[in-house]
Chains A and B, each alone.
Chain A
Amino acid sequence: MGRTLAEKVWDDHVVRRAEGEPDLLYIDLHLLHEVTSPQAFDGLRKSGRKVRRLDLTIATEDHNTPTLDIDKPIADPVSRAQLETLRKNCAEFGVRLHPLGDVEQGVVHVVGPQLGLTQPGTTVVCGDSHTSTHGAFGALAFGIGTSQVEHVLATQTLPMARPKTMAITVNGELPEGVTAKDLILAIIAKIGTGGGQGYILEYRGEAIEKLSMEARMTICNMSIEAGARAGMIAPDETTFDYLKGRPHAPEGADWDAAVEYWKTLRTDDDAEFDAEVVINAEELSPFVTWGTNPGQGAPLSASVPDPASYEDASERFAAEKALEYMGLEAGQPLRSIKVDTVFVGSCTNGRIEDLRAAADLLRGRKVADGVRMLVVPGSARVGLQAVSEGLDVVFKEAGAEWRHAGCSMCLGMNPDQLAPGERSASTSNRNFEGRQGKGGRTHLVSPQVAAATAVLGHLASPADLSDVETRTPAGV
């Protein structure tokens, strides 16, 4: 019987397989950041161990980093101490680090791909659940805890039980104005936050094949919000074109050998998945969340659901709690929800294509009075690219704040936070209670919906902008 993409990559990394034991998997790339690594380095130090493969390890600073005044000392002493700890650990153990201010600094899941380190058929881990992002290249990539970070540093391997496989087949083409973010939010709403638990997802089908690498990363990024540790997309010409010429992409004969291998990384026709979900792309429309987990979402054209409509008692209770926290009424049209803040950025939607999409809608328009809009590039390189295209000017002229790279308001470990009761439209990945700041209320959206929402002041799609003339003639 044939094998799935996930099974092929898994099998190629088994260092040791023994009855009654998890497989011991080799790890090709280990990404580190300041939050989940200090206790792992401490563990190495206590047991007198070294980093086994410095040449497969790379670190950057992202979760705590400020997005303003990055040339000044970090104001929060605890954040500063954590970043200094990473710097000390990397210096002591010899790990390559891209610190704040470095041109390669940024959100770890934006940095790996843009350097060309994330490649098809590799295993990628990081002490961060959004490591699933890298699966967009046909890599097997998953988030790990700090004990596992220490394990990989010491051994370059991980003992892992092999998950089951689930195909998410997206047939047809996404309609005009419907993005990868809308698609993944719709998938999570369909299968639930636990639907992918125990599986590696493989996104496939016509709609997926037509997506750019940036859009594929958005999809794979949020696999974890459906409970799946990893999500993958088979590599193809789009993948190879993205990688060619990047700093760490193979060259010459190595490139040819790599591409030959990468082309084998497709699920065989006779392979069987343990589960399959089929989605019709043509039925989709812009999608937003109304609740406090990423599965609590609906098309923007819908209304806030009535908790009484849920048959399952625990879902009903969760919906009641969510509406209470979010300050929403059942039956209220989603478009009527007014926001205070719009955040464009994160490992989900902080890449150049996302910034271009938001800027295209903001060009010649203004952010609504009373709305604060933050645009945070996913990496310093993305920021530079945006500046070279003049996008920063577009954002600033529209009244948005153009910031430096980092995780920023996705989780508010730096000063970019919502105040209690404030409401955001956010291109990030989690709408958990307090995620963006204590008492903050989050609606997850695409960059396009974020931009339209910023202009109109309430949840809105780009199509809503054409109903009202919001562009000044000079800006068109």
Chain B
Amino acid sequence: MEAFTTHTGRAVPLRRSNVDTDQIIPAHWLKKVTRDGFEDGLFEAWRKDPEFVLNRPERQGATVLVAGPDFGTGSSREHAVWALQNYGFKAVISSRFADIFRGNSLKNGLLTVVLEQKVVDALWELTEQDPTAEVTVDLEAREVRAEGITASFELDENSRWRLLNGLDDISITLQNEDDIATYEAGRPAYKPRTLKV
């Protein structure tokens, strides 16, 4: 995973709540067996509308998505995170994320930042009035900054440490392989098995 320390970029204000994963990346894109090449599927249905915010010329090259509450609801598809990253987004800001989407994002180095809705409103107003306005997402300081806006955000220390260092979860877990083996040795015999051993 790529490390995330701090990022500054222009924003895309997405004034929609309940942006579900079927909107982020429709199911027919899920047939791909790679982690890349999903950028054209991002918000595919909404992008058919030339007025959709992502299609506006002033939003090209923007890297911070500022969305309404309950972003990423629905399916567990990690493809939603890959699509956002493939398109060029580095961070997503919302007042509430769906759990599975949030977990997936943090495992891929896409920083999902939870801010109060009133801060999200302020970011929408700022970036709608001035599309060139830059937003900084600073993981070291746990802070989002833009003109006239400074807001701190929470992220548990363990997730932050993994992101700052770009650490691979599996390697970390395997450092505790003895604990896993000990646990396995104590599992009851009645637990289900898919294969006869």
Chain A residues with CB under 8 Å of chain B are 15-16, 20-22, 24, 26, 28-29, 35-36, 38-39, 42, 47, 49, 54-58, 63-64, 76, 78-79, 81-82, 85, 96, 116-119, 122, 127-129, 131, 142-148, 150-151, 154-157, 159, 161, 163, 193-194, 197-198, 224, 227-229, 248-250, 254-255, 257-258, 261, 293, 314-315, 317-318, 321, 411-413, 430, 432-435, 438
Contacts and interface: CB of A to CB of B under 8 A. Distances in A.
A63 to B, nearest CB: 7
Interface stretch (B4-12, B102-110, B127-135): B102-110
Interface string B153-176: 000111000000000011011101
B99 interface: yes
Contact of B176 (A16, A29, A142, A321): A16
B73 interface: yes
Contact of A413 (B31, B74, B78): B31
Contacts of B27: 63, 411-413, 435
B80 to A, nearest CB: 9
Contacts of A257: 188-190
B179 A28 contact: no
A248 B191 CA distance: 9
Contacts of A127: 76, 78
Nearest to B33: A38
A145 B192 contact: no
Interface residues of B, number: 60
A147 B20 contact: no
A39 B34 contact: yes
Task: Name the residue among B103, B172, B190 with the largest chain A CB count within 10 angstroms.
Answer: B190
A254 B17 contact: no
B100 A314 contact: no
A122 B194 contact: no
Contacts of B32: 78, 82
Interface of B: 15-18, 20, 22-23, 26-28, 30-35, 45, 68-70, 73-79, 81, 96, 98-100, 103-104, 107-108, 156-158, 169-170, 172-174, 176-177, 179-180, 183-184, 187-195, 197
B194 A55 contact: yes
A250 B190 contact: yes
Contacts of A143: 75-76, 100
A163 B188 CA distance: 25
A147 B190 contact: no
Given A15-B183, A55-B195, A82-B33, 6 more contacts: A49-B170, A56-B192, A147-B78, A150-B170, A155-B177, A434-B22
Contacts of B18: 193, 293, 318
10 contacts: A15-B183, A22-B158, A24-B176, A39-B35, A55-B194, A142-B100, A249-B192, A258-B190, A317-B17, A321-B16
A119 B193 CA distance: 11
A16 B45 contact: no
A307 to B, nearest CB: 13
B22 A147 contact: no
Contact of A154 (B75, B79, B170, B184): B170
A81 B190 contact: no
A193 B99 CA distance: 12
B183 A194 contact: no
A342 B157 CA distance: 49
B17 A96 contact: no
B29 to A, nearest CB: 10
A432 B26 CA distance: 10
B169 A159 contact: yes
Contacts of A261: 188, 190
Given A15-B179, A432-B74, A198 B107 contact: no
Contact of B192 (A16, A28, A163, A413): A28
Contact of A314 (B22, B69, B183): B69
B170 to A, nearest CB: 5
A24 B173 contact: yes
Contacts of B99: 163, 197-198, 227-229
Nearest to A258: B190
B195 A85 contact: no
Contacts of B187: 26
A33 to B, nearest CB: 11
Given A155-B180, A293-B20, A82 B194 contact: no
Task: Name the residue among A47, A64, A150, A227 with the largest chain B CB count within 10 angstroms.
Answer: A227
B192 A119 contact: yes
A56 B193 contact: yes
Contacts of A193: 18, 70, 73
